[in-house]
Amino acid sequence: MIELKEISKIYTIGDETVYALDHASMSIQEGEFVSIIGPSGSGKSTMMNIIGCLDVADEGEYILDGISIEQYSERELARIRNHKLGFIFQNFNLLPRLTAEENVELPLLYQGVKAAERKERVRKALEKVELSHRMHHRPTELSGGQQQRVAIARALVTKPSLFLADEPTGNLDSRTGQEIMCLFHELHEVGNTIVLITHDNGVAQEAERMIRIRDGHVDEVTA
């Protein structure tokens, strides 16, 4: 499903050349639950942005579903982001003026889904994360854990095949974080591919496979 071959991402800071990723290679199969673990500044978020087609590598090749990403047009990449990928971020990225229901509905509006189908899919997504009773509340009226559940429902509603989660428990207490991890296990059990970015070894160990990254290098892969 995902194959990165000798991927490098290079930044120039003053006279210095910095490799956020330095000839990193890895592969993820369909249906896997994989964590990418590393300290702050290790390159793991850069890796997620490249996997999620939010950024492009300066060197190397990214193959998605058997096709080199360079062969996709900008329109095709946008479609991949909107239909195939479900993004979940540490800071939730909810729009504060919208209710939970409206935040979850937003990607379906971008997809042009009809109103009746939007309503039904939003209802099911919020039920899946056990938050249908808070659907008319705005983010400021929800706890951190509830906001992350809304963010997961927003990712769920487009029916993606790949979930990319960047530090999804980073702003949550340990009990709430574990509840969110249980949701990821449920998503995985029904066949979704999950790539989870974290600096927390305990969270990383929840995955089937851990990929360690440090200073832009994929140093270690443990089963």
Compute φ and ψ for 145, nearest 5 degrees.
-65, -40
| Residue pLDDT, tens place only, 167-184 | 999 888 889 999 999 999
Output b/e per residue, 176-193; b: 16+ Cβ within 10 A.
Answer: bbebbbebbeebbeeebb
Is pLDDT of 24 > 60?
yes
Spatial neighbors of 19 by CB under 8 A, at least 6 apart, are 8, 9, 10, 215, 216
Is pLDDT of 223 > 80?
no
DSSP string, 56-96: --SEEEEEETTEEGGGS-HHHHHHIIIIIEEEEETT----T
Cα dihedral 149/212/199/62 (nearest 10)? -50
Structure tokens at 206: 């929840």
Return the bridge partners of 86, or none.
Answer: 163
Average pLDDT, the chain: 91
**Domain 2-63+72-222 class in CATH:** alpha beta
| Residue pLDDT, tens place only, 32-71 | 999 999 988 888 889 999 999 999 999 999 999 888 998 8
| Residue pLDDT, tens place only, 65-95 | 888 998 888 888 888 888 889 999 888 999 9
Cα dihedral 195/89/5/205 (nearest 10)? -40
Structure tokens at 153: 């429902």
- What pLDDT, on a 0 to 100 scale, did the predictor assign at position 220? 60
| Residue 157: closest CA among 101, 197, 196, 195 | 101
- The β-bridge relationship of strands 59-64 and 67-68 is antiparallel
Domain boundaries along the sequence of the chain: 2-63+72-222
